[in-house]
Amino acid sequence: MALSRLSSRSTTLLQPLATTSLLRRRHISTDTTPITVETSLPFTSHLISPPSRAVETSSQELLSFFRDMALMRRMEIAADSLYKAKLIRGFCHLYDGQEAVAIGMEAAITKRDAIITSYRDHCTFLGRGGGLFEAFSELMGRTTGCSKGKGGSMHFYKKDASFYGGHGIVGAQVPLGCGLAFAQKYSKEEAVTFTLYGDGAANQGQLFEALNIAALWDLPAVLVCENNHYGMGTAEWRSAKSPAYFKRGDYVPGLKVDGMDALAVKQACKFAKEHALKNGPIILEMDTYRYHGHSMSDPGSTYRTRDEISGVRQVRDPIDRVRKLIIAHDIATEKELKDMEKEVRKEVDAAVAQAKESPIPEPSELFSNIYVKGFGAEVNFISPLETTLSFGADRKELRATLP
C-alpha cells in the first residue's frame, strides 16, 4: 500500500482531499455518528435482567478508547522501567491489561460520579483527568506530584474529579466508597459512587458490612470487583469458596462483565449507574487480567504460567480488541493507529523526562498537611516551648510549630 502511495504521489494532490490520510483522520476523530457494536460475550446476571449486548459507540469514542488505553499502557510500562532503575521506590502495582475497566467506566459516567479504588490506581487517576507529569512526579517522590510526593504510588487523588484515591489497605476502600455514596444521597446529588476492589479483597468482612448498610439505606453504590483472578499470588479458586463474585452480594443484584471489552464495561457501568440511582447497590464483576505480577516485587510467573499470560495477551488484550474494531469499521488504518501509539510513547517519554527534572520536596514539607487547622490555642510561650509542635527524629534538633 505504501509503495502505491509513493508512485502516485503526483496524482495524490489531484485526488479528493477526503482520501489523504491526515485529513481523513481529522474528519473521523470528531465523528459521533452512532455505531452499534456487540459485546464479546453476553452479560451474566444475578437477581436482575442484564442489559443488551448491543452497545452504542462512535468513531470518536473508539479512537479515544484506543488512544487513552494506549497511554495508560505506555505509562505502566514506563513505570516498570523507572522502578527497575530505582527511581520509583516502595510499592508499585501496575494495571496493564486492565485498562478497559478504567476507560469503559469513564465513558459511562461523569466527573460528579465518584470513584474510589485500591492501590492499583495509576490508570484510574489518568481516567479521571489526572496528568502524566503529576503521576510520574508522584511516583518519583517529587514535589510536582499529585500528592506533592507525600503519598506515592498507592495514594493518588483528584478530588475535583471526584477521585478519592488510591488506598493501601486491602478492602478499606469499600466502606469508604459506600460512605461517598451515602454523602451523595444525603446531599441529593443524583450521582453514584463506583468503588473498585479486587478478587482478593472480595472476601473482606468489611465489604459485607458496608454492603449490608448500603442495601439497608439504599445507597447509590456500585461495587466493582476487578477480578484479575489472582490475589497477589493466590489464585481465586484457592481463596474463595465461591468465586462467582457478582453473586456474593446475596440479596444485592450483580452482573458479570468481560472486563477486557471496553464497550461491555461501558454498557455495564451505564446500567449500574441507572440502577444504583433508583434501587441502591449493585455489584459488577469485571473479568479482567493483569500482565504484570501483583507489584514490581512479584515476577508474576511463580503462580501462573507464561503461556497463560501470553495467551490472554494474544486473545483478549483490550487495546487490540479496540484496534480490530477500528480497522473493521474503517475508522483508521493500522498504520495510523501505530502512529498514534508512537505519539503516545513520545508523550509519555516527555512526561517522564520532565518529572525526572522536577524538584524533591522541601524539608519543611515533612510537617505540612498533618492537620488542616491549627489548634486554636494561644501559643503559651515559655521559650522555647510552644503548644503546637511536631518533631523530627531528634526532637531537640528538628521540630516545627504547626500553623
Residues that bind other proteins (CB under 8 A): 114, 116, 147-151, 155, 157-159, 164-169, 172, 174-184, 186-187, 205-206, 208-210, 212-213, 216-217, 368-373, 375-382, 385-390, 395-396, 402
Q: Strand ranges (DSSP E) for 47-144?
A: 54-57, 114-116
Provide, rounded to whole angstroms, the least separation between the CB of residue 363 and other proteins. Answer: 15
Whether 178 contacts 221, CB under 8 Å? yes
CA distance 48 to 268: 12
Toward other proteins, which CB reaches closer, 3 or 377?
Answer: 377
Toward other proteins, which CB reaches closer, 212 or 234?
Answer: 212
Toward other proteins, which CB reaches closer, 235 or 400?
Answer: 400
Q: Which residues contact 61 (CB under 8 A, 6 or more apart)?
A: 32, 107
Toward other proteins, which CB reaches closer, 69 or 178?
Answer: 178
Provide, rounded to whole angstroms, the least separation between the CB of residue 206 and other proteins. Answer: 4
- How crowded is the C-beta side of 96, counted as CA atoms within 13 Å? 21
Please classify residue 239 by burial: count the beta carbons closer than 10 Å to its beta carbon, then call 0-12 exposed, 13-18 middle and 19+ buried. middle
**Single-letter residue type at 321:** R
Reading the block at residue 357, the C-alpha cell is: 527534572
Provide, rounded to whole angstroms, the least separation between the CB of residue 175 and other proteins. Answer: 2
Provide, rounded to whole angstroms, the least separation between the CB of residue 397 and other proteins. Answer: 12
CA distance 47 to 28: 41
Rounding to the nearest 10 degrees, give the CA dihedral for residues 182, 205, 170, 297: -160
Toward other proteins, which CB reaches closer, 35 or 183?
Answer: 183
Toward other proteins, which CB reaches closer, 54 or 169?
Answer: 169
Provide, rounded to whole angstroms, the least separation between the CB of residue 88 and other proteins. Answer: 17
Provide, rounded to whole angstroms, the least separation between the CB of residue 52 and other proteins. Answer: 33
